[in-house]
Amino acid sequence: MKMDLSGRRALVTGSTSGIGEATAESLAAAGADVVVNGRDPDRVDRTAERLGATGVTADVGTAEGVRALTEQVPDVDVLVNNAGVFAARPVFEIPDAEWVRFFEVNVLSGIRLARHYAPRMVERGWGRIVFVSSEAGIQTPTVMVHYGMTKTAQLAVSRGMAQQVAGSGVTVNCVLPGPTLSAGVRRMWDELYPGVDPAEQERRFVAEGRAADSLLKRLIRPEEVARLITYLATDHSSATTGSALGVDGGMVPTIFP
């Protein structure tokens, strides 16, 4: 099965690192004309240049940022809503402003972008929208309730949008990664386990944290999530819509997809 996105334009928000960057790279390798997005112009430019992509600096966590992005990129065939924030904080200590910020960045960014792009996809009779949610959306982390709340909200939004565009040739889906290895995680490991080699750092982190329930017994790699997103962006996934697809290494203890 060849993943071919030749002639398709794909926007990946928050794509200068981690899952977003890996997804932009995977989509570009499949032939898509990729738009890289982030808030740091230097990182956007470096990533776009490396991938042979278009770079657009905009903060999609704000209405103004979404407007600036859609003015520069008025139409796409594939929208990957990946931009997001997370933090650990006891639930009763989270101030209103942080609840609102998490919702705006993690949820409203995707709503605003889909509200712009989805009708154009429907007019053409083809389109793909993917929300990068998380297994935290179905098993709320005690130390990140506000993050889990936004990931649950993405599931509802994605399903509702899929119902709205039913029969149009446009699909809307969520992917649910488990804890994923990133540059930020590696930096954290160096602080937690100084002087320990990366393989041992990962073993300890998995054993001591939420990923202890992973059937892989390791963290997910960004490219593993990116491959599932790329599949959802192609014609091969035409019968998959309104779904939440796990890429969590079996961390969620269920036999129901």
HEC string of 122-177 equals HHHCCEEEEEECCHHHCCCCHHHHHHHHHHHHHHHHHHHHHHHCCCCCEEEEEEEE
Residues 86 and 198 in one domain: no
pLDDT > 90? residue 191: no
* From 117, 147, 193, 231, the catalytic residue: 147
Does this model's pTM top 0.85?
A: yes
pLDDT mean over 8-21:
98
Q: What is the distance between the alpha carbons of residues 253 and 237, in angstroms, rounded to a whole number?
A: 25
Residues 130 and 199 in one domain: no
- In the chain, % of residues over pLDDT 90: 89
Instruction: Quote the pLDDT of residue 212.
Output: 87
Instruction: Quote the pLDDT of residue 184.
Output: 78
DSSP assignment of 29-55 equals: HTT-EEEEEES-HHHHHHHHHHHT-EE
Residues 153 and 67 in one domain: yes
Classify 243 as helix, strand or coil. coil
Beta bridge partners of 74: none
Is residue 3 included in any domain, yes or no?
no
Residues 241 and 210 in one domain: no
Domain that holds residue 214: 182-219
Q: How many distinct structural domains can be found in the chain?
A: 2
The pLDDT tens digits of the residues spanning 119-148 come to: 999 999 999 999 999 999 999 999 999 999
| Mean confidence (pLDDT) of the chain | 96
Confirm whether 193 is a catalytic residue. no
Residues 199 and 173 in one domain: no
Residues 44 and 72 in one domain: yes
Residues 25 and 47 in one domain: yes
**Higher-confidence residue: 1 or 74?**
74
Q: What is the distance between the alpha carbons of residues 15 and 36, in angstroms, rounded to a whole number?
A: 6
Instruction: Quote the pLDDT of residue 254.
Output: 87
Neighbours of 221 (CB within 10 A): 15
pLDDT mean over 209-225:
93
pLDDT > 80? residue 257: no
Residues 34 and 113 in one domain: yes
- Residue 52 amino acid letter: G
Residues 157 and 89 in one domain: yes
Residues 107 and 20 in one domain: yes
pLDDT mean over 237-241:
98
